[in-house]
């Protein structure tokens, strides 16, 4: 039996035991915004298992997806999380992962780990088998389209060691997607292999992504007429942000009606609560198999979602509802029932796991370890957060709460400035207030610096931002 015992001298109040975890469990949700956990302040949603996990670990209240260059933000998000790479350094936004970008699963394969995946994989099949040496009930694609069976009948594959995955080997399940993937994870955790060797288990849900069709039990939990509209609800977005006609934005009619948005939020909450139940089942299996005490658990969402905020429905924007995600880490050596407000990115998860396990990361890792924050929740690793969407919008926000978003859509330049400490819902655009002119200037300077540091090939000082012929001026 291959055992790995690691010890860290954490100076954390109430946390005196050294870390001994050798196993990794990552549970990744799809399109789940940061404000969809009851324990994090949403009193209308029921998430008992995520609430429990947050009490058992450290919640990162300012976790972000760095963004993407096209509507399927989940593609780069998942690759960034699994590799520690930054968005502008993913060829094709991560649809095909070159051998030069190393996944943590590849490194753990070399160390005798069983690396197991179930659920969504939105990149090439070859890289999937580089990252994982086992798995089951694997879905290749972005979402379960209704015409293909929806969430109720996902089309999946068994693990194919040849990485061919011919369509003839797929089958359509009669189990709801989230339950199906939880079943696969539980079967793995029940296996002798999970107990005999260290494991890295990645559960990639396709929920609460649309189609939002929660099973009746969970749909009945939320009545649309009892849903509170978000404070930043608008019937339409006030200007062309570059992607107002993307598929997500046509899921409900224009202009947005309050009843439609409330219905969509109710279904969204139903999907989250159903997923929460499956999270509970997975964690229960971990406990029953005696694996909880030597497993570090990461729960996170791949990107957020608007669901009626700012007149938007999808994730294709740089507002807080779209760039901020839930993130919880729990396990040996991790502070319990703690919350950090430090800026972090999803790509920071992989370097954190490397440091936690005492493994030197490969040179392709660019992100930052969260271990300094784990040791001291007041420690900052990122004084600002840079975000990208498409080739026409960029944003920067700083620890003092100021946030700048700039747009260049078909030659139309737009600036937004928000004070998130006073205006967390981004309702009051301050960009036209002359007293903030220096703030905007300073934030633009910082944004340009961050763009350079993160290998952004655009230049916001040029009329067309220096876009190349293959870089669209908007998302149409």
Cα distance between residue 335 and residue 339, in whole Å: 9
pTM, two decimals, is 0.95
DSSP-assigned beta bridge partners for residue 328? 59, 299
Indicate the Cα dihedral angle 261, 301, 25, 365, nearest 10°.
170
Each residue's pLDDT expressed in tens, for the chain with a length of 476 residues? 333 333 333 333 333 344 457 999 999 999 999 999 999 999 999 999 999 999 999 999 999 999 999 999 999 999 999 999 999 999 999 999 999 999 999 999 999 999 999 999 999 999 999 999 999 999 999 999 999 999 999 999 999 999 999 999 999 999 999 999 999 999 999 999 999 999 999 999 999 999 999 999 999 999 999 999 999 999 999 999 999 999 999 999 999 999 999 999 999 999 999 999 999 999 999 999 999 999 999 999 999 999 999 999 999 999 999 999 999 999 999 999 999 999 999 999 999 999 999 999 999 999 999 999 999 999 999 999 999 999 999 999 999 999 999 999 999 999 999 999 999 999 999 999 999 999 999 999 999 999 999 999 999 999 999 999 889 999 86
Cα distance between residue 302 and residue 385, in whole Å: 17
What pLDDT score was predicted for residue 17?
A: 40
For helices 258-288 and 177-190, the axis angle rounded to 10 degrees is 10
Domains, the chain, with CATH or none: 23-382 (3.40.720.10), 385-453 (3.30.1120.10)
What pLDDT score was predicted for residue 12?
A: 36
What pLDDT score was predicted for residue 476?
A: 67
Residue with token string 């090439």:
124
- Pick the closest to residue 466 from 391, 388, 386 (CA basis): 391
Cα distance between residue 229 and residue 235, in whole Å: 12
In this structure, what are the phi and psi dihedrals at residue 295, rounded to the nearest 5 degrees? -130, 130
Contacts of 455 (CB under 8 A, 6+ apart): 86, 88, 89
| Residue 352: half-sphere exposure toward Cβ, Cα within 13 Å | 26
**Helix (H) / strand (E) containing 344:** strand 344-345
- Pick the closest to residue 63 from 320, 280, 335 (CA basis): 320
Pinpoint the alpha helices (H) of 15-103.
48-56, 74-83
């Amino acid at each position: 039996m291959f055992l790995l015992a690691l010890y860290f001298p954490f100076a954390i109040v109430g946390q005196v035991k050294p870390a001994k975890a050798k196993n990794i469990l990552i549970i990744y949700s799809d399109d789940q915004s940061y404000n969809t956990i009851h324990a994090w302040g949403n009193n209308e949603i029921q998430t008992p298992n995520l609430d429990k996990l947050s009490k058992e670990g450290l919640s990162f209240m300012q976790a972000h997806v760095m963004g993407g260059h096209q509507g399927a933000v989940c593609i780069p998000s998942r690759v960034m999380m699994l590799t520690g790479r930054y968005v502008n350094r993913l060829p094709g936004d991560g649809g095909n992962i070159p051998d030069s970008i190393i996944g943590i699963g590849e490194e753990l394969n070399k160390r005798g780990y069983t690396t197991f995946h179930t659920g969504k994989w939105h990149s090439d099949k070859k890289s999937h088998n580089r990252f994982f040496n086992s798995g089951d009930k694997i879905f290749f694609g972005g979402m379960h389209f209704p015409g293909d069976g929806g969430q109720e009948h996902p089309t999946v594959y068994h693990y194919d060691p040849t990485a061919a995955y011919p369509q003839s080997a797929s089958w359509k399940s009669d189990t709801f997607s989230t339950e199906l993937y939880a079943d696969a994870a539980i079967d793995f955790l029940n296996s002798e292999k999970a107990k005999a060797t260290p494991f890295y288990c990645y559960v990639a849900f396709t929920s609460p992504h649309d189609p939002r069709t929660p099973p009746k039990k969970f749909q009945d939990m939320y009545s649309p007429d009892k849903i509170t509209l978000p404070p930043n609800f608008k019937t339409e977005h006030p200007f062309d942000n570059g992607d107002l006609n993307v598929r997500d934005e046509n899921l409900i009619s224009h202009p947005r009606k309050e009843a439609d948005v409330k219905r969509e939020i109710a279904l969204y909450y139903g999907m989250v609560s159903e997923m929460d139940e499956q999270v509970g089942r997975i964690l229960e299996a971990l406990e029953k198999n005696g694996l909880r005490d030597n497993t570090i658990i990461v729960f996170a969402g791949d990107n957020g979602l608007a669901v009626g905020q700012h007149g938007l429905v999808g994730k294709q924007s740089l507002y807080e509802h779209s760039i901020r995600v839930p993130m919880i880490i729990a396990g040996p050596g991790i502070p319990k029932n703690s919350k950090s407000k430090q800026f972090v990115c999803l790509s920071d998860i992989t370097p954190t796991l490397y440091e936690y396990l005492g493994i030197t990361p490969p040179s392709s890792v660019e992100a930052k370890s969260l271990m300094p924050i784990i040791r001291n929740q007041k420690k900052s690793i990122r004084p600002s957060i840079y975000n990208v969407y498409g080739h026409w919008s960029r944003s920067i926000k700083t620890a003092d709460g100021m946030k700048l978003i700039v747009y260049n859509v078909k030659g139309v330049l737009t600036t937004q400035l928000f004070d998130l400490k006073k205006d967390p819902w981004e309702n009051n655009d301050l960009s036209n207030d002359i007293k903030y002119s220096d703030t905007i200037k300073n934030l633009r300077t910082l944004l340009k610096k961050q763009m350079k540091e993160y290998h952004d090939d655009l230049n916001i000082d040029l009329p067309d931002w220096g876009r190349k012929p293959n870089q669209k001026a908007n998302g149409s």
